Chains A and B, each alone.
Chain A
Amino acid sequence: MDIRPDCPAIEVHNLTASYNRKPVLWDVDFALPQGKLVGIVGPNGSGKTTLLRNMMGLMKPDSGYVNLFGKSLDEVREKVSYVPQRETVDWDFPASVMDVVEMGRYRKGNLFKRLSKQDKILCTEALEKVGLLDLAKRQISQLSGGQQQRVFLARSLAQQADLYLMDEPFVGVDAATEESILALLTQMKSEGKTVVIVHHDLQTAYEYFDWIVLLNTRLVASGEKEKVFTPQLLQEAYGGRLTVLSRIGDLMAKQDFPLREKEFKEAKGTGDGKTY
């Protein structure tokens, strides 16, 4: 299953990438539509983070390349925002919430200058959108996990990009924050932005995204979620991890999988306790 959109936001061409000669992505080739919420879904260690890092030019692939809006990354860099996994930075760093959000306005061209008034206004707006304006002066180590995630989100909003690549923005976030993040993402979509999200939770993926990429070193599927969420493809991506799969299979067999999100949510958390 590999559905090709017209006018793609991202095209990944025959991408192979490895660490210490061990391939983590193998000949991955797909394209993502503009203006959608896209989930990159796959089990732990399936190469989701590696895929995002390759899209952002943070590592050199063995072969293949990525185009964003039909161009190379360097040509469209200011239209692209990258949100790394939360645990990749040291949250004990002596910086305030606002300090981090202001990094969203840093550019190659203004690195040696002060931020403008306009930049500061954009940062304030971004903080307001994620509900952290009250905490602007607080040190980032004094935040909960969900608040830290929202700081990253605010930095990303401050970038004013058209394409957002976010690595696991829902990890370590409480239910209320999860919903508000989702509302924010939906609003971004309605403004025509493309949001690509790495997500390991199969259970919520269907609910959240319009388009889903199933990944497990190789590309398993890429397409509208209705077409991708089939037992065969999920089985192919997740292999023998059946606790989750069988329940999703059951739900799908009853044909009410897309409709009964509430019931589905209640079933959440009763799996094998692992995250994927």
Chain B
Amino acid sequence: MAALYIILTASVIAISCGLLGSFLILRKMALVGDAISHAVLPGIVLAFLISGSRDNIPMLIGAAVLGVITTLIIEMLQKKAGMQEDASIGITFTWLFALGVILITSYTGQVDLDQECVLYGEIAYVPLDTFNLSNGLSLGPRALWISGSVLLLIIAFILKGYKGLVLTTFNKDYAASIGISTAFWQLAFMSLVSLTTVVSFESVGAILVVALLVAPPAAAYLLSQNLKKMLWLSTLFGILTAVGGYYLALVLDGSIAGAMATFAGVLFAGAWGWSKLTSKHSGTIPVTDKKNISTFF
């Protein structure tokens, strides 16, 4: 049962990350998940200072809010200060992380608070923290319930907002030209990324989340001609990563999160090799189609 819960939770999180990661890659923001993983620290500390407890809910909220702020600062540095994207990501998360460290060392005193214990979960413990009814009946791991809800939210957002999300990803200027607020879509999407990242950190740890946001969708990208296929493949690769990684960890008798992240990398390498082998058409620009030109008017 424990194995099933771990694989199930990891799969759900991998699907969430894969779906959002697909859009992150297409928006050229693949590194933002990485940035958020560090930048949320001051949010956690502030939530702790304000609420005065080590309860998870305020900390998750604090972290998620900081995640959104992170993406806003990154965007502002790019637009207003004209900085390169990688430089603005680099400066934002190191600065926020440092701010968090200062806050911890100067305000929280003797209280043992560091982001390892608050936020960065260990997937092996997922089955231990269960969601119980008042009569003691266990409904399964809390992490599975939370990440399941987040996945449903993501699926609803993508299904309902598909056109807006795709349009603002592919061609921002055009979207703005027909009166669609690109800022709204960016904010809505990045809020979801932030929430997902933070919730997933808590369950499966930071490294795995960052790997899941990038590797499965990147592999899917290499093998897809259309976005729907890319989203399905990301989902499939996410599940494969969860299952394959779990058994790899068993075989190696090592860290589950580490094995899953490794497995995701291997999957990506496989997808890359496959795309090289099969790419008779993709990657090469075909000569202009003579027949079409002649019928073109």
* Residues of A bordering B, CB below 8 Å: 20, 53, 56-58, 74, 77-78, 80, 82, 84, 88-90, 93-96, 99-100, 103, 106-108, 111-112, 129-132, 134-135, 139, 141-144, 146-147, 150, 155, 159, 174, 176-177, 180, 183-184
Query: Which residues of chain B have C-beta atoms less than 8 A from A139's C-beta?
Result: 225-226, 282
The prevalent SS among residues of B at the interface is helix
**Interchain pairs with CB closer than 8 A, number:** 121
Within 8 A of A (CB), among B170-209: 170-171, 173-174, 176-180
Check B52 for interface membership: any CB of A closer than 8 A: no
Shortest distance from the beta carbon of A111 to any chain B beta carbon, whole Å: 5
Query: Which residues of chain B have C-beta atoms less than 8 A from A141's C-beta?
Result: 282
Query: Which residues of chain B have C-beta atoms less than 8 A from A106's C-beta?
Result: 163, 167, 178, 180
A82 touches B177 (CB 8 A): yes
B225: nearest chain-A partner, CB-CB = A139
A132: nearest chain-B partner, CB-CB = B292
Query: Which residues of chain B have C-beta atoms less than 8 A from A142's C-beta?
Result: 281-282, 285-286
* Residues of B bordering A, CB below 8 Å: 26, 28, 82, 160-161, 163-164, 166-167, 169-171, 173-174, 176-180, 221, 224-227, 229-230, 281-282, 285-289, 291-297
The 8 Å CB contact of B226, one of A89, A99, A150, is: A99
The 8 Å CB contact of A144, one of B221, B287, B295, is: B287
Return 6 A-B CB contacts under 8 Å, by A number: A56-B173, A89-B170, A94-B224, A94-B229, A106-B163, A135-B289
3 nearest CB pairs, A to B: A131-B296, A82-B177, A139-B225
Query: Which residues of chain A have C-beta atoms less than 8 A from B296's C-beta?
Result: 130-132, 150, 176-177, 180
Query: Which residues of chain B have C-beta atoms less than 8 A from A177's C-beta?
Result: 288, 293, 296
Query: Which residues of chain A have C-beta atoms less than 8 A from B230's C-beta?
Result: 94
B297 touches A184 (CB 8 A): yes
A95 touches B173 (CB 8 A): no
Query: Which residues of chain A have C-beta atoms less than 8 A from B180's C-beta?
Result: 106, 108, 111
A176 touches B293 (CB 8 A): yes
| Docked CA distance A222–B295 (Å) | 36
A93 touches B173 (CB 8 A): no
| Docked CA distance A112–B229 (Å) | 21
Query: Which residues of chain B have C-beta atoms less than 8 A from A94's C-beta?
Result: 26, 221, 224-227, 229-230
B223: nearest chain-A partner, CB-CB = A94
| Docked CA distance A78–B178 (Å) | 7
Query: Which residues of chain A have C-beta atoms less than 8 A from B160's C-beta?
Result: 112
